[in-house]
Structure 1
């Protein structure tokens, strides 16, 4: 199970970085979202992958009863809210740039405009 989660995080990170390096704004927004999903899965997996265990300690303590660490779950929940807000900001910025420029191409500088 851990190998599957690690592979998924690696593939999503690679795909996110590839999309961020594109020269169009829409793939950049998708790449940032995919990279944030990969980070969320990584943060969630740091709390150990445990199924059907409570996020609190039982009466017997941590040695005899299993539990799930609630801190990574709280971090992921916070990261989801922050990434949603940042995605909305980036979409509005790219939409404004598209309306002003007439296309969604990312210009690299004056050297690119001469060609």
Structure 2
């Protein structure tokens, strides 16, 4: 997704748009490799490694456990406000994307 964005921010004769175009072209030409490697295998490996690291740190650090439980309590206490804030930020992002799309057309 970053390559798709970087490809469009400037003329393709300049970097990083040239490299981003090569990445997008490579992905488009090898759909099976791109699909399995970039969209499934890489995020899955990040999820597995990240989960293992978090579990290890959770067991080692009792202060982390206490801080996490306190944060979860605060989140639960103010869930409606945070939900509204999250949807507002999401709507702002969508509006920015639509505005950018309208400007470039």
Q: TM-score of the superposition, structure 1-length normalised? A: 0.28
More helix by share: 2
Q: TM-score, normalised by structure 2?
A: 0.29
